[in-house]
Structure formats: C-alpha cells, structure tokens
Structure 1
C-alpha cells in the first residue's frame, strides 16, 4: 500500500486537526515567483531542507494525495511542471492553454485544476494518470486562484479582471453558478457546516484592505470586514499590486481565520465562527500567502518583499522566526507525510 500525503492549502481538514507535529513528516513547500526553485522547509527546525530546481517563475504549488509528486505552475513556459517528491527532480512539463497562476487538486487525486490568468481565462483540467490536459473550462476573465472546497464537491475559481467568483461542479466539470463582485477576486478560504458542506467563502478583493463574506447556499455577499487601519506613517502604499490585503487561511481545527495585510505588514487572527478579532502579529514586508501547520499552532507567512518566510505563533500572536528563502516568495502549502 502506498503512503498517502495530505496537503493543507489553508482549508479545513478536521481529520488532521489533532495530529501531533512530531508524529509525521511535515514540509512547508514555498514557491519563489521571481526565481527558478521551490523550497521545502522543515517546521521542526525552521530550515530549508530541500529544493526543486529549474522551474522558472514558479507560482502555484500542490501535492498528489499519494505523496508521489508535486505540481508546480511554470509562468515562464506556461506549463504545469511535475516533480518527483522523493528525488525533487522535474519529470514532466504539461502545456497549458495560457499563462497559469495557482493550482488545486481533487480529493481523489485524479484531477489537477490550473488557474489560467491569461485571456480570455479558464480553468485547465489535467488528468493526473495520463499527465495530459483533459479539458479547459472557459471563464469570464482570467483566473488568479482556484480551490477545491473542503467536501470536494466544487471547484471555486476567482477572476481579477472578470470581477467574479466561478463555482464549478467537480463531478460534471461545468460552471453551476457565478457571483459578480465589486472588485477583482484575490485569495479565498472556506469554512464548513456540521455536515462538511461549504458554509462561507472568505474572499479578498482588489483595492480593499480586508475581506468579504459569501454565503455559499445563498450565493451572495453577506458582509464585508475591513482590517484595522494604521496611522499613515505606518502604512505601506507602494508595490501593493492592487491588493493591499492578499492571503488568508483557515486553521485545520476550524477555530481561526488568519488574514494578511500587505499594507499593514501584519497577519490578523479572527475566531471562527464568530469572526471576532483575536489579535495580530507583525511579519515581513509584503506578506502574500500563508499556510498552517497541521496542529493549527503555527502559520507560515510568505513575505514577498523580504524574501523570507515568517513563522508565527498563533496563540501567542507573535513572530518567532523568519526563514530566508528565494526571490519574491508567494504561494506556499503544507504537505504532511505519514
């Protein structure tokens, strides 16, 4: 029987919420968007212990459920690159329909969904067995980020240019509903109902230092939360790329939502389901993405402007380490190998 690997892209995975960190091999997989390598961090030592090389302008990352391979989007070549998880060598380049951004993998590992940000926009569907593109789902506007909901039933794709959330039925691989937003859609996260179905989408939008809340069943925005406002002298206003707030994730135990602010150089912690602001921690420059450890105790923040990853103690609301990585680190994931 093959060993299985679970990936935590900031979504709720209750089965791993109580898994002791020392009982598993955990790796933080960190892309470097202005470099040509992807780095693996050991959270036990907070050091870089591995490197996937020769992937120019790497963007999104995901891991196969059986732990056999990593999927990385290659922006320079507009390909989905596959790397062997043991050797960390790139073994395959899959051509895509246009310029890619982020990635998501179906719960059974049979499909890989690639966000195509290049016009006119699409979600490319990759067959994992044959390692070929099976189809392309057209969208209105290029797709920045794509996710599989915690129950595995839907693929959710957000468009910046199209200002729209696209919800795709995973079984049919067809768009079943869309939601127009005030501005372009940036990162998203999802919480769940008691039966495991999707309850809410938390979505960051272009030009807004905060996030909106979408009721999944009602298919509408029901609230908008602005992050704390700092004095003008403390705000970062340059190089925000239209997204003052970029990056949010839900802890595996489902109790905490962490939200990044590039403008404030901070990560904010909110309680779930109440969305009460619990506290904050200052991190590196231009924090862009984050991922939790399986025990929900720490969050790893990719600092695109500092070329580092901040390690934040969630309960203590403080940065406890900062790890040097490659050039302009953005997307990161947590891979757990039993």
Structure 2
C-alpha cells in the first residue's frame, strides 16, 4: 500500500510539473484571436523578481530580475507597459510587455510600496513611506518630475478617474492627504503639479483607499481600528455639481463608518454603488452603500480575509481568506455565500483575466498562483496552479494584440 501511495504521489507531482511548464488546454476557455497575448505579472518580495505568467497557455513565461523587495505593481491602460515598485531599492522597474523585459528603471525615494497610473497613461504616482513624500512620474520620459511632502509613512497614493485629485493614506500619522493635481505641461493653466488641498486626521493606520468612478468621493480603510473614512472630494469649479452647491468645491469629511476589526482592503463594485471591506481581524466582510455612506451589512466570510474583487457585472464578490487557504464566493444580488475554492497556502492578492473567465490568486506562503475558473457547470473551481517566486505579494494582468 505504501509503495502504491508513493507511486501515485510521484505521478501526481510529475503531472503537476508538466502542467505548469507546458500549459493547459486552451479548449477549456473561449478562443482568442491571432496575435492575442495576455500575461500576469507577480511581484515576489523575497526573491527580488517578477514572475511572468502566460494566461493564454497557462504556463510560466519567464522570471525577471528587478530591484530589492518588489511590492506594488500596476498596468498602463494605454501602453504595453507594467510598473513594479522596488521597496528596498527605492526604484520603479518598467516592464515592456511586448518583449517581457526590463525597459527602464526610475529612481524615486525611500521605501515606496504602491504605484497608481492615471487613466491617460502619461503619469504615475508613488507613495514613499520612508521619506514621507509622494513622487510624480512622467511615464513618457520615464523620470520623476515632482515630489511633495505627505503625512508620516504614506502607504498608498491613488489618482482619481478625472485626474484632478490624489488621495494619499498616511499610516504613521493616522491621516489622509488630498492633493490637487495640475494638468499636463501642455495645458493652458500651468502651475505646481501637486498642491496640498486638504488633510484629514483620525484614521488610525490609514491604508487602502478607493475613489468612486465619478471622482466625487474617497473611502479609506483605517486598518489599526474598525472604521472606514468617507470623504467628499472637491468638484471642479465649473462643474454642474459645483454650480448647484458651491460648498462642493471643498473637500470635506462625510463620515467615519464602523466596520469590523482591522479593515485592510476595500473592493469597489465597478458601478461604484457599494464597497466591500475585508475585516482581517474579525473574519468578516462589511458592505458599504456609497450613496448613503452607511454600512448596510456585515457577514462572516472566512479566516483572515485580506482582499476582495468584484466581477464586472457587479454580481459576484471573491474574497481571499489568508488564514483558510481558500477563496470565498459571495453572491451580491442574493446576499449569501455561494461556496469556497481551495487555493495554495495564504492566498492574498487577486486579479481577473481580461475576459474574467479566470481569477488569479497569489499564495504568499506556497509561492505560487491559483488559477480559478469562474464559469463552469460546477461553479467556480480550481483549474491549475502556476509557479511564482518566494513571497508573492501583488499581481497585475495585461492583455493586448501583438502586431509582430
């Protein structure tokens, strides 16, 4: 019996390795057009690398050497580039996705963690936790063009969809900074790129933040406590909203909303109507209405929920349970848990493939990525596992059609 069991495990291991290196059958998924390419980029914090995963053929494409302790990663929406933040090196690695190579390295400041790319694809914003600053990067010229002081230990700098407001969360000073962002240099209204517009104290351990699609509000997770801060963002002086109510031209605090303990991540529905808060310390998810600025529901989800993501049709929430080695699936319309999918050890960051037929989950402890089919007769199921590096902590997906 022992010999049979060993033979079975050996065969299973060999099959898994073959699957990871040679790829899975594309016939399980919709066809893609000629020249279509899609890759997932995973920052491996303890390996100083970025893993490139081929999401068309479901295999590892290559591993890129970057700076020390890569953390955040972001995609340019208009250009075939991806940007990895190297926390210990104080740099940004520019990845050319056409060739999957490092095209440039941009210096910023001490201990950057997160990068946000504006919708135009021309600028990016980096919070430098070790220097209490935020950097503005010109992505066309691949260099820093401005730097501004923030609160203590800024962890995140997120640009609004209208590109007028930059929201910075300051973990060390328990505050949120709001900057006005000047238009590009070819604008007829020149001025400083960043101007501090408002600051809001009273958000212990401020970490994650989301901004509504209409750029009217920001919500910030106060991770050292049990609240989410809701902020009204300044409207443009010539906008319809400002003409109706001149007070809307100033940023102001709307509410501090009680959620669960240690809220670490905010998942915004694509339509902007609701936010789902991952309460790491109380094994729950809180649902916030962005229209009323109220918590409508809190429900148990799994051990140590750390991140959530909502499908494009606004119907389904997926939550990575760091302490349960699973992904929970929650039906937003029906208001109940659909089921759970087992992953590797300590699932963390999540990302959809472009068509959302696949959900990718990085596993922090096992150093791999779970590939979950979102659409099948059995419901969401684990399809395969792809190798990453040591301590993967962020993931981004880029899809494009190559002309070569």
Normalized against structure 1, the TM-score is what? 0.73
Picking from 203, 219, 222, the partner of 2:293 is 219
Picking from 321, 324, 331, the partner of 2:385 is 321
1:299 aligns with 2:352: no
Q: 1:278 & 1:103 partners in 2: Cα distance?
A: 34
Deviation of 1:31 after TM superposition, in Å, equals 4.4
Structure 1 residues 295 and 68 mapped into 2: Cα distance closer, same or farther (>3 Å)? same
Instruction: Map 1:112-261 to 2 at 5 A.
Output: 112-125=166-179, 127=181, 129=184, 131-132=193-194, 134-140=196-202, 141-171=204-234, 172-191=250-269, 196=271, 198-227=272-301, 244-261=304-321
Picking from 73, 78, 87, the partner of 1:56 is 87
Q: 1:80 & 1:44 partners in 2: Cα distance?
A: 36
Structure 1 residues 310 and 76 mapped into 2: Cα distance closer, same or farther (>3 Å)? farther
SS of equivalent to 2:345: coil
SS of equivalent to 1:167: strand
* More contact order relative to length (CA 8 Å, sep ≥ 6): 1
Deviation of 1:185 after TM superposition, in Å, equals 1.9
Q: 1:296 & 1:183 partners in 2: Cα distance?
A: 31
Q: 2:66 & 2:122 partners in 1: Cα distance?
A: 14
Normalized against structure 2, the TM-score is what? 0.62
Show CA shifts across 1:268-324 (max 9, x none): 122232234333222232222212223221222232223433332222421423241
C-alpha RMSD over aligned residues: 3.5
Q: 2:145 & 2:362 partners in 1: Cα distance?
A: 26
Deviation of 1:34 after TM superposition, in Å, equals 5.4
Q: 1:121 & 1:34 partners in 2: Cα distance?
A: 29
Structure 1 residues 133 and 313 mapped into 2: Cα distance closer, same or farther (>3 Å)? farther
Structure 1 residues 39 and 324 mapped into 2: Cα distance closer, same or farther (>3 Å)? closer
Between 1:154-163 and 1:313-322, the stretch displaced more is 313-322
Q: Which runs of 5+ in 1 are unaligned?
A: 1-19, 229-242
Structure 1 residues 82 and 320 mapped into 2: Cα distance closer, same or farther (>3 Å)? farther
CA contact (8 A) 2:114 2:157 kept: yes
2:55 alignment partner in structure 1: 43
SS of equivalent to 2:306: coil
Q: 1:272 & 1:143 partners in 2: Cα distance?
A: 27
Structure 1 residues 25 and 300 mapped into 2: Cα distance closer, same or farther (>3 Å)? same
SS of equivalent to 1:246: strand
Instruction: Map 1:12-91 to 2 at 5 A.
Output: 28=40, 30-32=42-44, 43-45=55-57, 47=61, 53=67, 55-57=86-88, 58-81=112-135, 91=144
**Greater C-alpha radius of gyration:** 2
CA contact (8 A) 1:69 1:82 kept: yes
Q: 2:130 & 2:367 partners in 1: Cα distance?
A: 20
Deviation of 1:227 after TM superposition, in Å, equals 2.4
Structure 1 residues 330 and 303 mapped into 2: Cα distance closer, same or farther (>3 Å)? same
Deviation of 1:94 after TM superposition, in Å, equals 3.1
Deviation of 1:247 after TM superposition, in Å, equals 0.4
Structure 1 residues 21 and 74 mapped into 2: Cα distance closer, same or farther (>3 Å)? farther
Structure 1 residues 71 and 214 mapped into 2: Cα distance closer, same or farther (>3 Å)? same
